[in-house]
Amino acid sequence: MKLKYLSTVLLFIILTSLLFSQSDQQNIFTLSNNRVYAPGDSVSIAIYAPQQMKSFTFRLFRLENPVELLKSGATSRMSRDFDVWGKDKTLLAKYFSLQKEWNEVIKTSKNHYENRIQIGELDRAGIYLLQALRDDAVAYCPIVVTNYALIYKQANRNVLAFLTDAKTGVFVPETEFDFYRNDTLFNSGRSGKDGLLSIEFPSKFNEQGNFIVTAKIEDEVVFSNPYFFWGDQRERYTSYVYTNQPVYRPGEKVFFKSLLRKKNDFDLSVPGNEECNVLIRSPKNIEVFS
């Protein structure tokens, strides 16, 4: 009798856990943006959410002093899922200014919302942050508005940098460049009349680390990586795993190889003398190899 009772309780717990898991997944929504806008462009951001979600509150923020945020060290603890209700909410108040706030009802499309939030024209260049709120859940999406593109090439301690007009491709001459690493300014330079800056870093410079380049033009600061505050520290590595054949019969031996790379912003490097653990799970989430 006790065994039957325990079995019933365990079944109830499992079913309840599954229901809560499905409920959590149904409450997840995301924002997505895959382009850079020029001042005056009409901005729209994609939103993906389950069908039962109908209304959201949106807030548009502008990063007023991106260099100060970069130098503050606060970006080291920010990630794509930093919580507006948690300790990171002070970052919004200190470095971002609220541009506008509105409520919007999203239309349904099959099983999920696949709609775009129309923000309108953004005339001022800069880095913006769109925030979507629903109950106690929040999602963010960065938006970059600029007329320029900053490009640099590195070879050992030598760097070639230039700023171009994003539409015409013309180099911008006599531009001030700053180089930051670990929230600290470590080098500066000015491009010539041809728009090119060729600079050599100090001998103590560690070539393996990543850095951020900024260029000042009129009232705008252009970043080599305008999403510097949006890094997710959990995603430090990326891998590509493949097998020697696409399909196997039951009982056949499986051979696989993996390519592992360390991520530094948009750069990939080969990890040196590092061990990694390999874990394979079945579709039922059962560990079959480690």
Of 2.60.40.10, 2.60.120.10, 3.10.150.10, 1.20.120.1200, which CATH number belongs to 148-230?
Answer: 2.60.40.10
Cα→Cα distances 81→32, 85, 224, 265, 280, Å: 13, 11, 23, 17, 27
State the DSSP H helix or E strand holding residue 272, giving kind and residue range, or none if neither: none
First vs last C-alpha separation in the chain:
39
Same CATH topology for 30-145 and 148-230: the answer is yes
Domain ranges of the chain: 30-145, 148-230, 237-289
pTM of the entire predicted model: 0.68
Q: What is the pLDDT of residue 109?
A: 58
Q: What is the pLDDT of residue 235?
A: 57
pLDDT one digit per residue (tens) for the chain, 290 residues:
544 444 444 444 344 444 434 444 556 788 988 889 999 999 999 988 887 777 899 999 999 988 888 887 766 555 444 444 444 556 677 888 999 999 998 876 554 556 888 999 999 999 999 999 888 788 889 999 999 999 998 888 889 999 999 888 899 999 999 998 877 888 899 999 999 999 988 777 665 567 889 999 988 999 988 887 765 444 567 788 888 887 888 888 889 888 888 776 556 778 777 788 887 866 555 677 87
Spelled out in words, what is the top-level CATH class assigned to the domain 30-145?
mainly beta
Q: What is the pLDDT of residue 50?
A: 80
State the DSSP code for 228: G
110 conformational bin, left if phi > 0, alpha if psi -120 to 50, beta if neither = left
List strands edge to edge, sheet with 220-223: 184-190, 176-181, 212-217, 220-223
